[in-house]
Structure 1
Amino acid sequence: MLKRVGVWSLRVTMLMPGEEDNGSSFSSTSVLSQSEETEPEGEEKICIVCGDKATGYHFHVMSCEGCKGFFRRSISKGIRFTCPFSQNCVVTKAKRRQCQACRLQKCLDAGMRKDMIMSADALLMRRAVRNRKKQERHTKVQPAAAEALTDEQEQLIQLLVDVHKRNIDASFSKFIEFRPPDRLLTHVVKSRACSSPLLTQEPPSPICSEEFWEEQESPNHVASPEAISMLPHFTDISTFMIQQVVKFAKEIPDFRSLPIDDQIALLKGATLEMCQLQINTVFNEQTLIWECGQISYSIEDGILIGYQKDYLQPVIKFHINLRKLRLHTAEYVLLEAIALFSPDRSGVTERDLIDKIQEKMAITLKCYIDQNRPHYESRFLYAKLLSVLTELRSLTMESTRQIFHIQHKNNFVIAPLLKEIVS
C-alpha cells in the first residue's frame, strides 16, 4: 500500500514565461497567426528596412523594433514626409533617422501592410486580453491550494492525538517501578554526549574510540559489571515502552475491530518501529542524548548493554535526521498509525481491510502536511516520511538481531513481553 500512496509525489510544473507586449500590431481579423512565420533556430534575423537586428515579423515584414514602431506611428498619425534630397536616400541602422520619407517608403516597398495596423482601441483591447491570459497562466502554475481536512480526518487526528497523550509517555514520568542501573547517571548524563567519528568532527571520547569498539565486539570480551547492571534496567524500560504501545493500539477503534490474531501480528511487527518514533520526540540531536525526564540515556548506555557499532551508528543518524524535520505531534502519531496498520506483517489475515485502514491514515497525513506546512516544506516532507518507514523496517530487523546477540553474549534472559515481540 505504501507504494501506492507514495505516488503522490509532487508534479514539477514548468512555469511558462508570460508574453510581453512588444508593441507589434496585428489586424483585428487575426491575420497575425497566418502571416507570422517562424525563423530557424540560431539563424540571425536582419531587418529588411535598415539592416539592424530583427525581432520577428512585424506588419508582414521581418524588421527591427525601431522600424516597426516608426511604421506604426507614421501610418497611424497620417504624417506626410518630404525627402529634402533626391528621394533615394540610403536607409541603414546609422542613417535611418536622417530621412523619414525614404525610410517610410522603404518600409512600404519591403511589404509592410497598412491594414495590419490596429486602432488604438483595438490595441488596448488586445493588450487587455493578453494580460488576462497571462494572469490565467500564472494562476494555473501556482501551487494548488491545499484541500481542507475533512471532518472525518479532523476527528481521526484528534482521536489519535488524544489516545497518544493518554498512553504514550516519552518523558517516562510514569516509569517509576524499575531497577536502576549502577552505571547510569541521571541528570548529569545530559552533559556527556558520545562523539562517534562518523557523527561529529570532535575528537571521539574513549568510550566511543575504535579501540573501545574492538574490545566490546571481541569474541573473548567478558561483559563488565556495569553492563550486567544495565540489563535489568534495559528489561524494565523495554517492557514499559511495549506496554505503552499496546495500550495506544487498543484504544484505536480500527485496531479493535480486527481479529485478535491480526492485532497480535500487527503489534509484533510494528512495536519496535513505533518505539523508535516515540523516543525521537525526546532526542537531542546536538548532544545525542535521549532526555527522558529525570533519566537521560546516551549511546554509551547502548554500548554497555551490548549493542554493536554497526547498529548504533545508523540509529543515531536516523534520529538526527528525523528530529531535524521538526515534526508536529499529529505527524508523529499518524506516522505511528501507518506503521501499525501494515498489511504485509507476518501472520496477518485481513490484509485488504488493514490496507484500507493504512491508506486512510496515509491520506490523512498527506492532507495534514499540505494544509499545515508552507509549500516549500510540504513538497517533499510526505515522501521523506514514507522513506522513514522504510528505514525503520531495516533498523527493526537489525534491532531484533542485536537483542538476541545481547542475550547470547551475556547469558541474559529476555523479558517475556520483549521476547514475544521479537520472536
Structure 2
Amino acid sequence: MSSDGRELDDSGVEEGPREEPEEDDEPKLCQVCGDSATGYHFNAMTCEGCKGFFRRAMKGAPNFRCAFTNNCVITKSNRRQCQSCRLKKCLSIGMLKELIMSDEAVEKRRMLIRKKKLSEEPALLTQKQEALIQELLTAHTKTFDMTFSDFRQFRPLDRDAVYPQEPSVSHQHSPETERMEDVEEAIRHGSYLAQTEEDENSKERKLKFTSLPHITDLSTYMIQKVTSYAKLIKTFRALSIEDQIALLKGCAFEIVQMRFNMLFNEKTGIWECGSLKYCMNDAQRAGFQRHLLDPLMKFHYRLRRLGLDEEEYVLMQAISLFSPDRPGVTQHREIDEFQEILALTLKNYISVKRSGPEKQLLFPKIMACLTEMRTMNEEHTKQVLQIQDIQPEMSPLILEIVSRQC
C-alpha cells in the first residue's frame, strides 16, 4: 500500500483507494464469488479474479446478457459462466468504475515505481546477474542464426511491381502511393477487388498480396525460434503451461522485431538475413498497411541507433517475454518479480559496461522502445486478421499467436 492509502495491483501500480482491513485473523472472502479475497479493490473486498474481471468489463462497453433469469448465484466455480450477473454483483457491492486507472496512468505509475526501485540499487553485476545474462545469451545463440542458414523450406518471395520498390515507405503522394491507399481503403471495407492492367492475353486478374506466402513462412520460422528460445530459460519452464502460452502469444511479435533489428542496416533500410534481403515494401506486398509500417520503420531506426550489444538485446527480449500483464496470465507476481530482476540486471549491465554521457539515458530509451512495441503489437494483430480474411495464407501458428484469450 502507498502512503496515501491507495492499493497496489499485481504489477505494483496503484489502482484506487483501499480501506484498512480489520485487524483479526478471520480469512477474508470475495464479496462477489466467495473466493479468498486479497483486499479492497475498487471500493469492495474481492479476489484477484473478480478485480480483473471488473476492470476489463468497465474499460470496454459491456453488453452482457444473462442466458437464464438474471439472478444467477455467483460462486468461485461458476463465476465465468454468466458475465452479466457477475458484473451486476460487482456493482451491487459497491465497486466503482471511477476508481479504475487508465492504461496510460497505470503504465506511467508502474514505470515511476520501477525507476525508483532501480535507482536505489547499487550499480554492479552480481554473480547471479552474470549467470542470468549467460543463460539468456546461450538460449538466444541456440535459437537465432543470423545467417538464416536453416531457413530453407519457404515459398519464393514474389516482388510483384504492384507496390513501390523503394527500400523505405514513402509519404509522398506518388501514383504508386495513391494506388497503395486504394488498396488500404479496400482492406478497410473487407474487400480486395482492385485489378491490374490487362496482361498480354488481355485478361484482367485480381491483385494478390504477392509476397504474403513467403512472409508467412518467414514469420512462422521466426515464431518457432522464439518459442524454442523461451523453452531454454529455466524460469519460463517453471511456469504453468497456460502462462507459457499467454507469454509467448504476447511477446512473439516484439521479440521477432528485436531479432530483425539486429540485422537492420540503417544506411540502406534493408534487413540483411544472410543471403536473404528484405525491405519494408515486402511487408506492403504482404498486405500490411502504412499505419503499422511507418511507425515500425521509425522504431527500427531508433532502436538500431542505440548501438546495443548482444547482452543488451537479449535482456530486452527477456523483459518483453516476462510481462505480467499479458492477457491470460495468472502467475502475475512470479512473472513481475522476474521481470524486475531482468530490468535491474539490464540497468546494472549498462552502468558497468558503458561509458560516456549516453549511458545515463540508454536504459530509459530501451524501456521506451519496449512500451512503443506494445502499441505496434496491437496494430499488427488487427492487420494480420484483416489480411487473413482477404487472402487466407497465414499459418495455424501465426493465427494461434494473434488469437485473443477471453
Counterpart of 2:228 (choices 230, 247, 251) is 247
Counterpart of 2:183 (choices 216, 223, 240) is 216
Q: Deviations over 1:348-397 (max 9, x none)?
A: 11111111111111110000011111141221111111111110100000
**CA apart distance, 1:327:** 0.5
Q: Deviations over 1:74-112 (max 9, x none)?
A: xxxxxxxxxxxxxxxxxxxxxxxxxxxxxxxxxxxxxxx
Asked whether the equivalents of residues 270 and 277 of structure 2 are also in contact (C-alpha less than 8 Å), the reply is yes
Go from structure 1 to structure 2 and tell me whether the alpha carbon gap of 1:151 and 1:359 turns closer, same or farther (over 3 Å shift).
same
What's the counterpart of residue 419 of structure 1? Answer: 399
What is the alpha-carbon root mean square deviation over aligned residues? 2.5
Asked whether the equivalents of residues 273 and 339 of structure 1 are also in contact (C-alpha less than 8 Å), the reply is yes
What's the counterpart of residue 168 of structure 2? Answer: 194
How many residue pairs get matched?
277
Counterpart of 1:293 (choices 274, 278, 281) is 274
Task: Report the secondary structure of 1:290's partner residue.
Answer: strand
**Does 2:281 correspond to 1:303?**
no
Report the structure, 1 or 2, having the larger helix content. Answer: 1
What's the counterpart of residue 105 of structure 2? Answer: none
For residues 287 and 344 of structure 1, the distance between their equivalents in structure 2, rounded to whole angstroms, comes to 36
**CA apart distance, 1:295:** 1.0
Asked whether the equivalents of residues 194 and 205 of structure 1 are also in contact (C-alpha less than 8 Å), the reply is no
**Does 2:112 correspond to 1:6?**
no
TM-score by length of 1: 0.61
Task: Report the secondary structure of 2:268's partner residue.
Answer: coil
**CA apart distance, 1:169:** 2.6
For residues 208 and 380 of structure 2, the distance between their equivalents in structure 1, rounded to whole angstroms, comes to 18
**CA apart distance, 1:325:** 0.3
The more displaced of 213-222 and 278-287 is 213-222
Counterpart of 2:366 (choices 372, 385, 394) is 385
For residues 208 and 296 of structure 2, the distance between their equivalents in structure 1, rounded to whole angstroms, comes to 20
Spell out the pairing of 1:271-420 with structure 2 (5 A cutoff).
271-410=252-391, 412-420=392-400
Asked whether the equivalents of residues 192 and 287 of structure 1 are also in contact (C-alpha less than 8 Å), the reply is no
Asked whether the equivalents of residues 194 and 204 of structure 1 are also in contact (C-alpha less than 8 Å), the reply is no
**Does 2:131 correspond to 1:155?**
yes
Asked whether the equivalents of residues 282 and 290 of structure 1 are also in contact (C-alpha less than 8 Å), the reply is yes
For residues 285 and 175 of structure 2, the distance between their equivalents in structure 1, rounded to whole angstroms, comes to 13
**CA apart distance, 1:206:** 6.0
Q: Deviations over 1:265-289 (max 9, x none)?
A: 1101111111111101111122211
For residues 210 and 346 of structure 2, the distance between their equivalents in structure 1, rounded to whole angstroms, comes to 42
For residues 173 and 358 of structure 2, the distance between their equivalents in structure 1, rounded to whole angstroms, comes to 34
Go from structure 1 to structure 2 and tell me whether the alpha carbon gap of 1:215 and 1:366 turns closer, same or farther (over 3 Å shift).
same
Asked whether the equivalents of residues 211 and 286 of structure 2 are also in contact (C-alpha less than 8 Å), the reply is yes
Task: Report the secondary structure of 1:274's partner residue.
Answer: helix
For residues 119 and 321 of structure 2, the distance between their equivalents in structure 1, rounded to whole angstroms, comes to 26
Task: Report the secondary structure of 1:7's partner residue.
Answer: helix
Letter of the structure 1 residue corresponding to residue 194 of structure 2: V
What's the counterpart of residue 57 of structure 1? Answer: none
Letter of the structure 2 residue corresponding to residue 394 of structure 1: T
**CA apart distance, 1:192:** 5.0
**CA apart distance, 1:195:** 5.4
For residues 147 and 227 of structure 1, the distance between their equivalents in structure 2, rounded to whole angstroms, comes to 54
Q: Deviations over 1:18-66 (max 9, x none)?
A: xxxxxxxxxxxxxxxxxxxxxxxxxxxxxxxxxxxxxxxxxxxxxxxxx
Spell out the pairing of 1:107-118 with structure 2 (5 A cutoff).
none
What's the counterpart of residue 165 of structure 1? Answer: 141
Letter of the structure 2 residue corresponding to residue 179 of structure 1: R
For residues 401 and 271 of structure 1, the distance between their equivalents in structure 2, rounded to whole angstroms, comes to 15
Asked whether the equivalents of residues 170 and 279 of structure 1 are also in contact (C-alpha less than 8 Å), the reply is no
Letter of the structure 2 residue corresponding to residue 212 of structure 1: R
Gaps in structure 2 of 5+ consecutive residues: 1-10, 12-109, 187-191, 197-205
Q: Deviations over 1:294-335 (max 9, x none)?
A: 111111111111111111101100111111001110111000
Letter of the structure 1 residue corresponding to residue 287 of structure 2: G
User: Percent identical across equivalent pairs?
Assistant: 43
Asked whether the equivalents of residues 195 and 204 of structure 1 are also in contact (C-alpha less than 8 Å), the reply is no
What's the counterpart of residue 153 of structure 2? Answer: 177
Letter of the structure 2 residue corresponding to residue 321 of structure 1: R
Spell out the pairing of 1:9-48 with structure 2 (5 A cutoff).
none
For residues 328 and 322 of structure 2, the distance between their equivalents in structure 1, rounded to whole angstroms, comes to 13
For residues 147 and 160 of structure 2, the distance between their equivalents in structure 1, rounded to whole angstroms, comes to 17
For residues 130 and 160 of structure 2, the distance between their equivalents in structure 1, rounded to whole angstroms, comes to 42
Task: Report the secondary structure of 1:263's partner residue.
Answer: helix
Structure of larger gyration radius:
1
**CA apart distance, 1:173:** 2.2
Task: Report the secondary structure of 1:421's partner residue.
Answer: helix
Asked whether the equivalents of residues 211 and 283 of structure 2 are also in contact (C-alpha less than 8 Å), the reply is no
Task: Report the secondary structure of 2:394's partner residue.
Answer: coil
Go from structure 1 to structure 2 and tell me whether the alpha carbon gap of 1:234 and 1:416 turns closer, same or farther (over 3 Å shift).
same
**CA apart distance, 1:9:** 7.8
